[in-house]
């Protein structure tokens, strides 16, 4: 009985030991992949900052203006004129301020129980 138990414990120990070794190598592989990804991300961030710096230089008006002037005739473009944006006369006027005296009279008549619509209907002869 003891002999069978020892054999069983020996096989289970070998099985668990091989599991631990497999887990160890799996973790090492994952760590190396992580390190490679971090290095790749750092390289891409460096490339991105370099591209942003190039973009900032290329978008400066001092760089764009000579290119536009050189190709102005071929592209058929002209500088923007102020009239293209509209004028002050085309802006809508402010709304008229409401007549506060008439509104106060309306609210007072409503508070007194007088319905102005009924008064209008009585004047018109409509019931």
Structure tokens at 70: 């050189």
Per residue in 6-45, pLDDT (tens digit) is: 999 999 999 999 999 999 999 999 999 999 999 999 999 9
**pTM for this prediction:** 0.47
CB hemisphere CA count around 105 (13 angstroms): 5
Distance CA 116, CA 124 (A): 12
Per residue in 44-100, pLDDT (tens digit) is: 999 999 999 999 999 999 999 999 999 999 999 888 888 888 888 888 888 888 889
């Amino acid at each position: 009985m003891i002999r069978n138990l020892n054999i069983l414990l020996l096989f289970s120990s070998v099985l668990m030991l091989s599991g631990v070794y497999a887990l160890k190598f799996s973790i090492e592989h994952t760590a190396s992949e992580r390190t490679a990804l971090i290095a790749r991300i750092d390289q891409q961030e460096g490339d991105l900052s370099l591209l942003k710096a190039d973009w900032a230089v290329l978008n400066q008006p001092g760089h764009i203006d000579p290119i536009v002037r050189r190709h102005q005739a071929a592209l058929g473009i002209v500088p923007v004129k102020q009239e293209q944006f509209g004028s002050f006369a085309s802006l809508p006027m402010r709304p008229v301020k409401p007549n506060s005296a008439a509104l106060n009279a309306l609210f007072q008549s409503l508070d007194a129980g007088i319905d102005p619509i009924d008064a209008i209907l009585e004047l018109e002869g409509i019931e």
